[in-house]
Amino acid sequence: MSLFNMTAVELGKKIKAGEVTVVDACKAALEQIKATEKELNCYVQVLEEAQIMERAREVQEQIDAGVLTGPLAGVPVAIKDNMCTEGITTTCSSKILYNFKPTFSSEAVINLEKEGAVILGKTNMDEFAMGSTTETSYFGETKNPWNTQHVPGGSSGGSAAAVAAGECFYALGSDTGGSIRQPASFCGIVGMKPTYGTVSRYGLIAYGSSLDQIGPMTKDVTDCAAVLEAIASYDSKDSTSFKREDYDFMSALVDDVKGLKIGIPKDYFAKGLDGEVKEAVLGAVKKLEEKGAIVEEFDLHMVPYAIPAYYVIASAEASSNLSRFDGVKYGYRADEFEGLHNMYKKTRSEGFGPEVKRRIMLGSFVLSSGYYDAYYLKALRTKALIKKEFDQAFEKYDIIIGPAAPTTAPKLGDSLSDPLKMYLGDIYTISVNLAGLPGISVPCGRDQNGLPIGVQMIADCFKEKTLIQAAYSYEQARGPFDICPAQKGAK
C-alpha cells in the first residue's frame, strides 16, 4: 500500500511502530503537493520545507521518548485559513488580511499540536467563508481533484480538495451553514460539523458567531472520530464553549445499527434534488436498514424557511464581525485617502471581494432601524421554530438521513453567475447550524460523470457518538470508496 492510500490513523500506527518516520510522511506530503498543487490550488500557503522538517524531527523525538502516544502523532495536517496560527499568515483568503500574522494560535490548532500534528500549510477557502464553491477567494479558485472543471464546494473547499488529492492526511475546516459537509460530499471524503460548543471557536476568525463550528475533514470515519477527539475540549476563553463529560469519540467506532431509528425527511427528497443523488442516498439508507436499522419517513415542514432565516442571521452577524477590518490596526490599507472616513471606505472597498460586500450590505440592512423587527427578529424566531421541529423529530428518531447537497459538484463559474442559486445549494445543511446540531457527510456513490455523492447524517445535540457509530456501520457495509484520480500517482 502506498503512503497516500493510508488514512491518518493507519499512518499514525506505522509511525508509532517505527515503520515510517514523521520526516518520511512529511516528505511524501510535500512531494504530492508539488505534483498536484499547481493545478488544484488547495493551499493559500505551504510552509517552508525547513520549518516543516524541524517540527517533524521534534515530534519524532517525542514519539520515540513515549511522550506522544495518540493516534495522530506525527501525521501531517492542513488548516483552513480562517484559523489563527501563531507566526503563520492567516488571510481568510481575503486581500484585506493578506499580510496578517497572528501572535497566537486558535485552540483547535493548539489541541492538534499537543497531539503531535505537523502543520503543512493553510488551505484556500471562500473569502471570509462566504460562498459554497471556493471561487470567491482572493488567491484564486480551488479545483475539484476528481474533475478539475468542477468546484470542490465551499467554503472549506481547499481543505476538502487537499484531503481528497492526498496533499495532506486530514484537515480542519469550519462549518457555518454546511461549509464542511458540502465540500466533503463534492470531494468524496468524510466531513463532520460537531455540536455547537464542542470545539472551541477561540482563534477562529468569525463569520457568523452563533453558527460557526470547527470540524474534521478526513478520509474515513475512523479518522474523523480521532480528529474530533483531539480537537474537542472545553475552553474558558470561548464563551460559547460547552464542558462535556465524555470526549472519547473513538469508542463509538462500532459496527452495529440494530434497532437504530432513522428518520427520512420527505421534504429533503422533494423537487430540486438530482435523481442520481437521491438514488445514492436512499441506497445508503437501504444498507443500514439491511443491518437492522428501523427506517421511517416523516415531515420536516420548516425546511423552506431555513435558507432565508440563515442568510438574514449570518449576514447580520457578518456585518458586525467584519466591521473590525478597517485598515487601522492590521491588514490592508488603501494607499491614497483623504481623512479617516475616506480611509475606511477605500480600504474596505478595495480589500473586500463582491460576495463579502454583498453580505455586509445585506446584514447592515436587516440590522438597520425600521428593518430590525421585520427581518432580523423574525429570522431569530424562525431559527427557534426550526430547533423545536428538530427536537420533536429526535424524540422519535436516533438519526435523520438525507443528502448533503442537491447535486454533485457544479462546474466552475456556474454558481458565481447566480448567487441566489448558490445560496439554495445549502438547503440541506444550514438547518443543522441553525439548530446547533452535529452532522456528518460520508461518501455514498458517484454520478454518471464520476463525481462523488455524500449522504448526510444528523443527530441530536451532543450525540456525536450515535452519528459516528451509524456512519462507521454504513462505511463498513459500503466497503472501500474509490481513490481520487489525483491521488493515484502518490507514492
Task: Name the residues annotated as catalytic.
Answer: 80, 155, 179
CB 132 within 8 A of CB 154: yes
Asked if residues 447 and 453 have their Cβ atoms less than 8 Å apart, the reply is: yes
Is residue 345 classed exposed, middle or buried when 0-12, 13-18 and 19+ CB atoms within 10 A define those classes? Answer: middle
Q: Which residues contact 332 (CB under 8 A, 6 or more apart)?
A: 95, 96, 97, 98, 99, 347, 350, 351
Cell of 94: 481575503
Distance in angstroms (rounded) separating the CA atoms of residues 210 and 207: 9
- How far apart, in whole angstroms, are the C-alpha atoms of residue 431 and residue 201? 20
269: burial class by Cβ within 10 Å (0-12, 13-18, 19+)?
middle
Residues in Cβ contact with 266 at an 8 Å cutoff, skipping those fewer than 6 apart: 297, 298, 299, 300
Q: In whole angstroms, give the CA distance from residue 174 to residue 107.
A: 13
Before 241, cis peptide (omega within 30)? no
- Strand 190-193 and strand 439-446: the pairing is antiparallel
Question: What gap in Å lies between CA 129 and CA 141, rounded to an integer?
Answer: 13
Give me the sign of the Cα torsion angle 458, 461, 462, 463: negative
From CA 177, how far away is CA 313, in angstroms rounded?
Answer: 11
C-alpha cell at 381: 424566531
| Category of 87 on φ-ψ map: left (φ > 0), alpha (ψ -120 to 50) or beta | left
d(CA 260, CA 466): 9
